[in-house]
Amino acid sequence: MSFVGGPLRLKRSRTEKQDKPTAKKLKESVEPSKTPAEIAFQNVKKRNAKDRITEKLKLSHKDRIERYNKQLSELAEHFDIPKVGPS
């Protein structure tokens, strides 16, 4: 006979599945670690974001609207339509 006797092995056993590396393990092994400069950059970026948020939280909505209205009132009105003709 030209075949091996025994039952058909259509699925692998648990031990064979565990030996095969998973995609997660491969990704961890291929992904390089971050340099100290990259880590420092991320820390500064987080700190700046935190500072920006605290600055925005200092003013209430009413205070921001008042500041905006004050800024608009101080702008030059050179976009106004000039008077034309006798008045």
Residue 86, CA distances (Å) to 62, 78, 83 in order: 43, 21, 8
Return the ∠ at Cα 46 (arms to 44 and 48), rounded to 5°: 65
> Which tens digit of pLDDT belongs to each residue from 14-69?
555 555 666 666 666 565 788 999 999 999 999 999 999 998 899 899 999 999 99
Every domain of the chain and the residues it spans: 45-74
pTM: 0.40
Q: What is the DSSP letter of 24?
A: H
Given a contact cutoff of 8 angstroms between Cβ atoms, the answer to whether 67 and 59 are in contact is yes
